[in-house]
Chains A and B, each alone.
Chain A
Amino acid sequence: METVANKNLIKGGEFLIKDVTPEEIFTPEEFTEEQRMLIQACKDFLEKEVYPKVEELDEAKDTSLMVSLLDKAGELGLLGAGVPEEYGGMGMDFNSTMLITEYLGAGHSFAVAFSAHTGIGTLPIQYYGNEEQKKKYLPKLASGEWKAAYCLTEPDSGSDANSGKTKATLSEDGKYYIINGQKMWITNGGFADVYIVFAKIDDDKNLSAFIVEKDFGGITMNPPEKKMGIKGSDTRQIFFNDCKVPVENLLSERENGFKIAVNILNIGRIKLAAAAIGASKAALSHAIRYANERKQFGRPISSFGAIKHKIAESAVKIFASEAATYRAGQNIEDAIKMYKEAGMSDSEAKLESLKQFAIECAMMKVHGSEVLDYVVDEAVQIYGGMGYSAESPVERAYRDARINRIFEGTNEINRLLTVDMILRRAMKGELDVMGPAMAVAKELMAIPDFGAEADTSLFAAELKAVKNFKKAILMVAGAAAQKLGKGLGEEQEIIMNVADMLIETYVTESVLLRVLKMAQKQGEEATALYQDLARVYLYDAVDVIQKAAREAITAFAEGDELRVMLLGLKRFTKLEPFNVKAARRRIADYLIEKNEYAF
């Protein structure tokens, strides 16, 4: 920790109390030539191997097609991108693996199988395995020779993951753990060679994790689940009946399973955000092309303002989500490097960094999946009746998108976690929220600043608005915590409000900084359209923040206190008028000309 402070590295959650400059964030415009080649390879893979078969995948009677696609991805090295070279992988940096996840994220059911294998399937061994376990399993998982699945959820244990009933008991000779129990919603369940299984040893309070090979015996499964979307992804209930797992296949230490599950999900969450961005871009591109082709009243429907609004609004959300996701991705990457320099092993450094940025991971999971749902919904709307037909690509995109708000921790759980983690860090003194919160309380009582010397440089006013959003959060969260104390935990509605404020603030700041950085490099004139994107996002966000804050304040305050805070909120969410309609038209016109999402 000391080293982190010394190097002045940005910490997780710190965005709430710290002003960040464009130089301090990474933007997608800075991807290297190599990373751009990576993007193209992923796009080519989908075009050549996956898209021609999406329908067949959804209707497949067995898992052979999905397995063959994973094999092909393995041949290209896509499955081992994030695995260290000494275990047969490519040892790519974090944001490169994010890019792969993003661009394959448009691959419908394949994307889910890919993410389950490379993420929750492979990472527990990569991060928590001992040398023997890593040597034995990682090369096979990196090449795709073996496929992996992750068995955490049970019929009675979903969001409350640590309450699972699956048991592991040591055999009499002490050589095996005998696992008994039932797991459900297991992605890749039907064809996996290796299962990461969470179970409680004897009467332990906490889960332990095990590496279970399909041939250990005692594993049976139900036929694939029938689902709303991602129908080609093989999802099963799996039963463990006296499954004999050698003791050396215990992953990490006894009772460490819940920690493993939580930390692996951190990565899963930010990767899910990346995948959602990829799927959003693809869905919006379909919608733009259709809007250009479809004619009504003698003109392409893309020429109508109502449709332009949908196109622009979708693009604005995607662009902003991308800005925040890769900003966090690079923060994680930088932290990994720093921890490694401080002497940590590769796995320790990665885990520590992801823990550090768990708040951002949770926020982006929520944001990415909700942007995707917005985009696919509007894509279906742009397609009109055709969008409701199973023959249109957006119908599948619409159904496939919905799971993203549910898995890797529901968005509700992730909102709760976001606020919970910030409050915990504040209590522990890791995040100095108290000082800034006191300053805000003081400001509430002071005469308002009328902005006598307004800074007119690009985005000065907008970034000041973001600074005020942060004050609004500190005001609301501070007062709620003070007023409700431990009772806040039962006031989930208020926590959701605060989470929404946090997410919108983080994303708004990210998109403003992204565009500011672009403007610094390319000039203000050349980035006018991008400034539109960022401003429209800001104006959308302020409404969300205002509403969330008002609901929260009125839920716990009354009388003078309520009035003071509402006045404060008004001050903290004040923006100069901006013609968002005209800006949206400029954005839409550009994309209509390009005939695809092109930012």
Chain B
Amino acid sequence: MKILVCITHVPDTTTKIKFTPDNKQLDKNGVQFVIGPYDDYALSRAIDLKNELGASVTILNVGTAETEPTIRKALALGADDAIRIDAEPTDSYFVAQQIAAVAKQNNYDLILMGRESIDFNGGVVHGIVGEMLGIPALSPVMKLDIEGNVAKMAREIEGGKEYLEAELPLVLGCQEPIAEWKIPNMRGIMSARTKPLQVLPPFAEDVLTETDSFELPPPRKECKLIDPDNVEELIDLLQNEAKVL
């Protein structure tokens, strides 16, 4: 079985986001990057499947050379090899095109990724890839087992869960609790550097969207605590300060 895991290279979840002066790009200064948390779940499940079924796991990232430490981390976690498409991941369509092109050349049984990246949160790449390859795409997948040629999955839907089966190949957007995040072991870390990492030029250059500008949400206002006995003050504040009454 061949699994392709697509990972994003995103700011650590605790990063204080800033933009470049023209508000068109993230200010990467001093930002620490990690594997997208949802992608990390997908990767963890892939590694478990590798251990359970003897699958091979290939990492795919669309990004410039600065993403390589993130790719090496994925290799340290147990993936076998990696491909980096040497380009800025400009928009979902562009990224999906790259993934589909790699997938067409290699016949993967499973293409796993996070339900969404945590930088731009598009959440559509898996769907576009499925469409481009003409195979089913499902998201968010919270449980995944493989029996022969069939994937048994659980998916979160409005107000409940959906259990479903589908034949491989599949594209899946994953989220917890599909697997537990892993910590790379020392042997993995030491062997990551020697695992193959292939760098390819982008397959197509179509970009369908362009960013006008980014804007940060307004800072959260301070919370006022009022003594439960002091209803008058509460009413006064709600009427005159918050103006909601």
Are the C-beta atoms of B186 and A77 separated by less than 8 Å? yes
Are the C-beta atoms of A37 and B73 separated by less than 8 Å? yes
Residues of B contacting A80 in the complex (Cβ-Cβ under 8 angstroms): 186
Residues of A contacting B184 in the complex (Cβ-Cβ under 8 angstroms): 37, 41, 76
Query: How many Å lie between the Cα of A34 and that of B76 in the bound state?
Result: 9
Which single member of B16, B76, B181, B187 contacts A37 (CB below 8 Å)? B76
Query: How many Å lie between the Cα of A123 and that of B153 in the bound state?
Result: 49
Q: Counting CB contacts under 8 A, is B208 at the interface?
A: no
Are the C-beta atoms of B183 and A34 separated by less than 8 Å? no
Query: How many Å lie between the Cα of A40 and that of B186 in the bound state?
Result: 11
CB distance from A143 to the nearest CB of B (A): 12
A-B CB contacts (within 8 Å), total count? 45
Residues of B contacting A77 in the complex (Cβ-Cβ under 8 angstroms): 185-187
Main secondary structure of the interface of A (DSSP, over half): helix
Residues of A contacting B69 in the complex (Cβ-Cβ under 8 angstroms): 33, 36-37
Are the C-beta atoms of A48 and B181 separated by less than 8 Å? yes
Are the C-beta atoms of A44 and B186 separated by less than 8 Å? no
In chain A, positions 39-86 with a C-beta closer than 8 Å to chain B are 40-41, 44-45, 48, 75-78, 80-81
CB distance from A63 to the nearest CB of B (A): 23
Residues of B contacting A90 in the complex (Cβ-Cβ under 8 angstroms): 186-187, 190
CB distance from B191 to the nearest CB of A (A): 10
Residues of A contacting B189 in the complex (Cβ-Cβ under 8 angstroms): 34, 37-38, 41
Residues of A contacting B185 in the complex (Cβ-Cβ under 8 angstroms): 41, 75-77
Q: Counting CB contacts under 8 A, is A92 at the interface?
A: yes
Do A76 and B72 contact each other (CB < 8 Å), given the known contacts A34-B192, A48-B181? Answer: no
Residues of B contacting A36 in the complex (Cβ-Cβ under 8 angstroms): 69
CB distance from B223 to the nearest CB of A (A): 12
Residues of B contacting A33 in the complex (Cβ-Cβ under 8 angstroms): 69, 72, 193
Query: Using a Cβ–Cβ cut-off of 8 Å, how many residues does chain B contribute to the interface with A?
Result: 15
Query: How many Å lie between the Cα of A81 and that of B190 in the bound state?
Result: 11
Query: How many Å lie between the Cα of A36 and that of B193 in the bound state?
Result: 13
When C-beta atoms are compared, the residue in chain B nearest to A42 turns out to be B183
Query: How many Å lie between the Cα of A299 and that of B16 in the bound state?
Result: 20
Are the C-beta atoms of A45 and B73 separated by less than 8 Å? no
When C-beta atoms are compared, the residue in chain B nearest to A80 turns out to be B186
When C-beta atoms are compared, the residue in chain A nearest to B69 turns out to be A33
Residues of A contacting B187 in the complex (Cβ-Cβ under 8 angstroms): 77, 90
Residues of B contacting A40 in the complex (Cβ-Cβ under 8 angstroms): 73
Residues of A contacting B186 in the complex (Cβ-Cβ under 8 angstroms): 38, 41, 76-78, 80-81, 90, 92
Main secondary structure of the interface of B (DSSP, over half): helix
CB distance from A84 to the nearest CB of B (A): 13
When C-beta atoms are compared, the residue in chain B nearest to A81 turns out to be B186
When C-beta atoms are compared, the residue in chain B nearest to A79 turns out to be B186
When C-beta atoms are compared, the residue in chain B nearest to A38 turns out to be B189
In chain B, positions 69-116 with a C-beta closer than 8 Å to chain A are 69, 72-73, 76
CB distance from A340 to the nearest CB of B (A): 19
Residues of B contacting A81 in the complex (Cβ-Cβ under 8 angstroms): 186
Most chain A CB atoms below 10 A, which of B16, B69, B186, B193: B186
Query: How many Å lie between the Cα of A77 and that of B186 in the bound state?
Result: 5
Are the C-beta atoms of B72 and A37 separated by less than 8 Å? yes
Query: How many Å lie between the Cα of A75 and that of B188 in the bound state?
Result: 12
In chain B, positions 1-45 with a C-beta closer than 8 Å to chain A are 16
CB distance from B188 to the nearest CB of A (A): 8
Which single member of A48, A92, A595 contacts B183 (CB below 8 Å)? A48
Do A45 and B183 contact each other (CB < 8 Å), given the known contacts A33-B69, A33-B72, A37-B76? Answer: yes
When C-beta atoms are compared, the residue in chain A nearest to B75 turns out to be A37
Residues of B contacting A38 in the complex (Cβ-Cβ under 8 angstroms): 186, 189
Most chain A CB atoms below 10 A, which of B73, B76, B185, B190: B190
Are the C-beta atoms of B193 and A44 separated by less than 8 Å? no
Most chain A CB atoms below 10 A, which of B72, B183, B190: B183
Residues of B contacting A76 in the complex (Cβ-Cβ under 8 angstroms): 183-186
When C-beta atoms are compared, the residue in chain A nearest to B181 turns out to be A48
Residues of B contacting A78 in the complex (Cβ-Cβ under 8 angstroms): 186
Query: How many Å lie between the Cα of A75 and that of B185 in the bound state?
Result: 8
Query: How many Å lie between the Cα of A37 and that of B74 in the bound state?
Result: 11
When C-beta atoms are compared, the residue in chain A nearest to B34 turns out to be A40
Query: How many Å lie between the Cα of A441 and that of B73 in the bound state?
Result: 57
Residues of A contacting B193 in the complex (Cβ-Cβ under 8 angstroms): 33-34
Residues of B contacting A595 in the complex (Cβ-Cβ under 8 angstroms): 16
CB distance from A100 to the nearest CB of B (A): 8
CB distance from B72 to the nearest CB of A (A): 6
Residues of A contacting B183 in the complex (Cβ-Cβ under 8 angstroms): 41, 44-45, 48, 76
Query: How many Å lie between the Cα of A176 and that of B46 in the bound state?
Result: 53
Query: How many Å lie between the Cα of A92 and that of B185 in the bound state?
Result: 13
Query: How many Å lie between the Cα of A522 and that of B212 in the bound state?
Result: 33
Query: How many Å lie between the Cα of A38 and that of B73 in the bound state?
Result: 10
Q: Mark B45-60, 1 if CB is under 8 A from A, else 0.
A: 0000000000000000
In chain B, positions 164-190 with a C-beta closer than 8 Å to chain A are 181, 183-187, 189-190
Are the C-beta atoms of B190 and A34 separated by less than 8 Å? yes
Q: Mark A574-595, 1 if CB is under 8 A from B, else 0.
A: 0000000000000000000001
Residues of B contacting A37 in the complex (Cβ-Cβ under 8 angstroms): 69, 72-73, 76, 184, 189, 192
Residues of A contacting B16 in the complex (Cβ-Cβ under 8 angstroms): 595
Residues of B contacting A34 in the complex (Cβ-Cβ under 8 angstroms): 72, 189-190, 192-193
CB distance from B70 to the nearest CB of A (A): 10
CB distance from B56 to the nearest CB of A (A): 22
Query: How many Å lie between the Cα of A421 and that of B5 in the bound state?
Result: 57
Query: How many Å lie between the Cα of A475 and that of B190 in the bound state?
Result: 48
Query: How many Å lie between the Cα of A76 and that of B188 in the bound state?
Result: 9
CB distance from A164 to the nearest CB of B (A): 36
Give the 8 A-B residue pairs with the shortest CB-CB distance, closest first: A77-B186, A76-B185, A44-B183, A77-B185, A90-B186, A37-B189, A41-B184, A41-B183
New A-B pairs, 8, CB < 8 Å, besides A41-B184, A90-B190, A595-B16: A33-B69, A33-B193, A37-B76, A37-B192, A40-B73, A44-B183, A76-B184, A92-B190
Give chain A's interface residues, CB within 8 Å of chain B.
Answer: 33-34, 36-38, 40-41, 44-45, 48, 75-78, 80-81, 90, 92, 595
Give chain B's interface residues, CB within 8 Å of chain A.
Answer: 16, 69, 72-73, 76, 181, 183-187, 189-190, 192-193
10 A-B pairs with C-beta separation under 8 A = A34-B189, A34-B193, A37-B69, A37-B76, A37-B189, A76-B183, A76-B186, A80-B186, A90-B190, A595-B16
